[in-house]
Chain A
Amino acid sequence: MKKSLLVKVWILLVLLTILSALVSNNSSHYNYIIAIIIGFSMVKFLGISFFFMELKKAHSFWKTAVIVYVLLFLTIAILIF
């Protein structure tokens, strides 16, 4: 994994974290806000798995398993709210 790519991913993850905190202060469109916050978190989850943990290079089974987990968690959260 190229170090410059890791730096870009890290910057994206930090920006998404700050954005999530800012978005959470918005009290209107409650359901959309929740979907956005959980969605950002799942993007960060994939960023760490695929780039920091180098799952990008792994067998497709492991990549699929992580993506299924993320989609499942996001869907359940959206269904609950």
Chain B
Amino acid sequence: MSVQQVNEKSIYYPPGGILLWILIFLELITFGAALVAMMVYGKQEPEMFHASRLHLNTTIGTINTIALITSGFFMALSVQYFKEKNLKKSSLFLKLTMLGGVLFLVLKGFEYYEKVEAGLTIGYNTFFTFYWLLTLFHVIHLLVGLVILLFMQHDLNKNKTNANLEDIEASAAFWHMCDLIWLLIFPVIYLIF
């Protein structure tokens, strides 16, 4: 196990690494641009967007947001415990982080099932085209994040000498990126129209 600290004040070493932060900004710009496009379309057809938004379950959206925020909180705690060389607690909070992600996916799956059953598929109208594209892309990111966390959990459990702080921080940064993307998606799709 390596908890060697890098110089975090250097422009080249943001927490998680510079390459990951470049990726994070690219993702945020892409999702941000799509959401701005959705808002522009929503302004042009407010009645249709409002009626479509009412088909969504705001309670599930809110619970999902809280699940992801809580999951991110557990991830931050896992990194802190790793820095303190408390691998047992670090591993526990990493598992809780993944549990939050799984809860999100289960609720999202339920929501998708309801929409498909009601015929509200990707081609139903402009609102649902944005809904499916944005939320599905986010779900794909979350699945990739879960796989990364599974690898980190494996490193922590089986091969403790291999786990290092940079890997943990990079995995955490990717997971938090999923939180950030959802924080942009949630208000635009579920609340404002």
Looking at chain A's contact residues, is the secondary structure mostly helix, strand, loop, or mixed? helix
- Asked if A62 contacts B180 (CB within 8 A), the reply is no
A18 & B40 in contact (Cβ 8 Å cutoff): no
Taking CB atoms and an 8 Å cut-off, the chain B residues in 161-193 that contact chain A are 172-173, 176, 179-180, 183-184, 186-188, 190-192
| Bound-complex Cα distance A62 to B13 (A) | 10
Given contacts A37-B187, A53-B15, A59-B14, contact A6 B69 (CB under 8 A): no
B120 at the A/B interface (Cβ < 8 Å)?
A: no
Beta-carbon contact of B11 and A1 below 8 Å: no
The size bracket of the interface on A is 35 or more
Q: Are B69 and A41 in contact (CB under 8 A)?
A: no
Residues of B with C-beta under 8 A to A18: 62, 66
B15 touches A34 (CB 8 A): no
Residues of A within 8 A of B29 (CB): 69
The proximity string for A residues 30-56 relative to B, scoring 1 for CB distances below 8 Å and 0 otherwise, is 000110011011001100110111110
Count of residues in B whose CB is under 8 Å from the partner chain: 46
Specify which chain A residues have a CB less than 8 angstroms from the CB of B66 in the assembled complex.
14, 17-18
Say whether A44 contacts B184, CB under 8 Å.
Answer: no
Known: A17-B66, A59-B9, A80-B39. A38 touches B80 (CB 8 A): no
B110 proximal to A (CB < 8 A)? no
Determine the chain A residues whose CB is within 8 A of the CB of B45 once the complex forms.
none
Which of B11, B28, B176, B190 touches A59 (beta carbons < 8 Å)?
Answer: B11
A3 with B77, Cβ < 8 A, contacts A18-B62, A53-B173 known: yes
In the bound complex, what is the Cα–Cα distance between A49 and B58 (angstroms)? 25
Interface residues of A (CB under 8 A from B): 1, 3, 6-7, 9-10, 13-14, 17-18, 20-21, 24, 33-34, 37-38, 40-41, 44-45, 48-49, 51-55, 57-59, 61-62, 65, 69, 73, 76-77, 80-81
